[in-house]
Each structure stands twice: as C-alpha cells, then as structure tokens.
Amino acid sequence: MLEPTEHRALRRALEIAAHPAVPLGPNPRVGCVILGPDGQTLAEGHHRGAGTPHAEADALARATAPLPGATAVVTLEPCTHHGRTGPCDDALLSAGISRVVIARQDPNPLAAGGAQRLREAGIEVITDVPDELAEAAAALNRGWEHGLRHHRPLVTAKLALTLDGRAAAADGTSQWLTGPAAREEVHQLRTTCDVVLVGTGTARTDHPSLTARRPDGSLHRRQPLRAVMGTSETPTLSEIEGAGEEIRLATRDPSATLAELFALGARHVLVEGGPTLAAAFLRAGLVDELIVHLAPTLLGAGRAAVGDLAITTLAERLDLELVEAAPLPSPGGATDLRLILRPRTTTA
C-alpha cells in the first residue's frame, strides 16, 4: 500500500513524464521521484527521448543527499536491458535504493523483468497502486504500447458533424460547424499525437495549417508532424514558424501510410482528413478510436462526414462501442456533444 507521500510523488512523476518538452514517438515517457526515508523529495527525473538517460538515472544523478534507504517512485517498471544506456535496475541497486513503487509494468519483452530482479536483490517493490494512477500511467504511453503489440501506430480519427451526419453545407462551407470548446479540444488532441494526417483533397481545398494552437492563437510547445497522403499534387501546407515538419506520403493505402509513419518513429496518428480519408481507414479496419464532435444542428444536405464504406446491407454495418459521451457548452447556449467510440472490429 502506498504511503501518502508516495501517492503524491507518483502524481508528480506522471506530471513530469508528460512535460510538453518531452518528445513523443518510439520511446516511452517515464517520470521518477526519489523520496528520502522521511518522505522528503530528494530528486526528480524524466526521460527526454532516445539516447538520453532514463528517468531513474536522471533522478539519481540529480540527487543531492545520500540515497541508501530511499524510495524510487516510477511511472514505468525499471528496465533490465543494455541499450544506449545501462539497465535502470542496476542503477537503483548501486544507489542503495530500498523501496521502489511502480505504476505500470513494462510491456516490452526486451526491457521487462526489472521488478522481479529488484525483489530478488532484496528490494521492496510495490506494484499495487490506485487504479486512477495506474490508468494515468497506461494512458501516458498508449501509442507506444500499441506499437509494441501491433507494429503500427495507434490511429485516432476525428470527425465534426451535424445531427444528420453532414460535415459541410451544400455550398461547401464548414467553418465553424462546432463551437470553440470543441475546436479547443481538437488543438489539445493534436499535442498528444505524433502526426496529424489529411488527404490531398483536404490539403487542396481547405489549406489547413495542422498546427496545435491555444485559444489566443499562439502555438503549443509540442507540435505534431503534418502529413498529407495521396497521389494528387497539392500546394505545400502553410509555412508557420514553430509548426511541425511537413511530410508527403505518395500513396492512397492506409496500411502503407501507417507503415511509413511507424518507420519514422510515429506511434500515434490523428486522422483529420475529409470523408474519403476517414472512410478509407475505417474500411481497412485501421481506426482504433473515433472522436466525434456532434453539433446540435441540421443541414439537410451537403457533404457527408464519412464516405463510402462499401456497406450495402444492414447486416454489414460497422458497429461502434461508445466509450464516453460528454457535453461541450459554448457561448450563446449551443452545446456540442463529444463522443469517443471504438469500432468493435479494432485490434486495439
């Protein structure tokens, strides 16, 4: 059972692991807080990306007091393997750490086993943490963990639509279909993804910036890679200082797109394109999570939010599991509804 000081330390470790300066991609985000025998914080550390010290080593190097008898509180199980840096369990043992609190077991078979090795060395290891903290630790690296299991990025598709399933009016206008609260959520979502992906049609028609912005228009510190897939020629995306790098993927194949992005280190892709792109990923069974911002309005005609799914009969329908539904109040009284769904055929 966690001590109150360890509970607070684990919350802090999760916070620093998720710092916006920490890159996303093929390495997990990990935080570590070291507590003295009296419960006082002796050091904090976090992993800053490939080739940098792991969170435990970073924290140990920052400690300004003797560490024998101290407790290490970490968001992910200390590793056991030799990579660009040495095993974290060795570092903890050498420092004289006597207790280790772990929020999440390491799903990587090449690195797992640190908890068992520490126990065998006489260290007290605690893995039974409150559900909310365990869930936060899992959410911190869900793209990374998905990549380990499926060897492709986690795919989130985002749609904004009316009650009658329209993404734009008959004349093509679509701004703004949803209110400011929904739009702010989308920009925050972009900061949690490695890549924002659109098709050439959206790039050509909407000229999107694909940046993550705050309500005042300034850019968030963390910006996603901006990707356009398709074989048609399109103009370059808007050149904005601080925006993510732009990449072109000359294919219409969702699987090929994800393979290329995975090879580049991407572990979470946000599909923000139009109905054609959304339908392509849904048809391919490559959407792991669907986020819908539903506006309380009707258009009666206009562009559908999702293109042809090659479904010709009700028996072939694509059923979705509703994970969450929440209202998003906006000025003026209108309230959008955010739905988070998962296709029941997903491999996630």
- Name residue 234's amino acid: T
pTM for the complete prediction?
0.90
* Predicted pLDDT of residue 224: 94
* Predicted pLDDT of residue 23: 81
CB 46 within 8 A of CB 165: no
User: Is omega for the bond preceding 144 within 30 degrees of 0, making it cis?
Assistant: no
* Predicted pLDDT of residue 196: 96
Instruction: Give residues with Cβ within 8 angstroms of 310, minimum separation 6.
Output: 283
Per-residue pLDDT of the chain (348 residues; tens, 9 = 90+): 788 999 999 999 999 999 888 888 888 999 999 999 999 999 999 988 777 888 999 999 999 888 999 999 999 999 887 666 678 888 899 989 999 999 999 888 777 788 899 999 999 999 999 999 999 999 999 999 999 999 999 999 999 999 999 988 888 877 788 888 888 999 999 999 999 999 998 888 878 889 999 989 899 989 999 999 999 887 777 778 788 899 999 999 999 999 999 999 999 999 998 899 999 999 999 999 999 999 988 988 888 889 888 889 999 889 999 999 999 877 666 689 999 999 885 444
| Domains and their CATH numbers in the chain | 4-140 (3.40.140.10), 146-343 (3.40.430.10)
Closest among 5, 72, 68 to 33, alpha carbons compared: 72
* Predicted pLDDT of residue 159: 94
Instruction: Give residues with Cβ within 8 angstroms of 27, minimum separation 6.
Output: 47, 49, 50, 144
Selecting among 3, 6, 15, 56, the annotated active-site residue is 56
44 catalytic residue (yes or no): no
